[in-house]
Amino acid sequence: MNKAELIESIAKSADVSKAAATRALDGAIKAISVALKKGDVVTLVGFGSFYVGKRTARTGRNPRTGAAIKIKAAKVPKFRAGKALKDAIN
C-alpha cells in the first residue's frame, strides 16, 4: 500500500474527502517527525510506538574498492508494534 492508497482508504473509512484525508495524514506524519526530532516517544495505544534509536559509529567497506570507510554514528527512527497490531496480523 502506498501513500495514495492509504489516503483513499482513510477517506472511505472516515467518510471525508481525499483532500481532508491527505491533510490529516500529512499532519500526523509531521507531528510524529517533530516529536522524534525532539527525542520524544510517540505512543499510539494498541498500534505501537515510534522512538529514536542510536546507531554507533563503525567501520564499513566500500563494495567497489574494498577499502575501509568510517560510518558516523546516527540517530535512526524505529517502530515497535503494539499488542493489538500484533494480534490483528496473527
Alpha-helical (H) ranges within the chain are 3-14, 18-37, 83-89
Taking the domain 41-90, which CATH number applies? 4.10.520.10
Cell numbers found for residue 47: 498500534
**Is 73:49 a contact under the CB 8 Å cutoff?**
no
Q: Measured between alpha carbons, how far is 86 from 67 in angstroms, rounded to an integer?
A: 42
Would you call 66 exposed, middle or buried from its count of C-beta atoms within 10 A (0-12, 13-18, 19+)? exposed
Q: What is the pLDDT of residues 20-54, one digit of tens each?
A: 999 999 999 999 999 999 999 999 999 999 999 99
The domain locations on the chain are 1-39, 41-90
C-alpha closest to that of 58 among 43, 46, 45, 74: 74
What is this structure's pTM? 0.81
